[in-house]
Amino acid sequence: MGCNQGEISILFTDDDYITELNRQYLNRSKSTNVLAFPMVDDSPMDIQTGMLGDVVISLDTAKREAADMEEPFLDTVYRLLVHGILHLLGYDHERSSGDEEIMTKEQERLFALIREE
């Protein structure tokens, strides 16, 4: 992925706390499954410190999604983690349908690598 070394912070939390973060930083007063906070607004690959940013996952939402999708809870958590990391690396599914397709394909590729282990 072009990032041989990088550091991320991962926070597993509940719906209440992720709702507060979503409201505070994105002006959205609702819960979500995952939030990503890159260290810089430009390309994270230019970071000299190696710190890519923070990924926050709501385990409450992950549990509901796992049940809805009929997938193991841990698979849901891995999928959300991969999604968050891709955001830290500059992928953004909200920009356009083309960007969404690119991010989805990369997410599926990386998730398949995790499941092989």
Under the banding of pLDDT at 50, 70 and 90, the label for residue 4 is: low
Whole-number pLDDT of residue 49: 63
Q: CATH number of 7-116: 3.40.109.10, 3.40.390.30, 2.40.50.140, 3.30.210.10?
A: 3.40.390.30
For residue 81, give the nearest of 60, 68, 64, 62 by alpha carbon. Answer: 62
- Alpha-carbon distances of 111 from 8, 12, 104, 107, rounded to whole Å: 18, 19, 10, 6
pTM (predicted TM-score): 0.85
Residue-wise pLDDT for 37-70, tens only, equals: 998 765 545 555 678 899 999 999 999 999 999 9
Nearest 10 degrees: Cα torsion 54, 62, 112, 1 = -10
Average pLDDT, the chain: 88
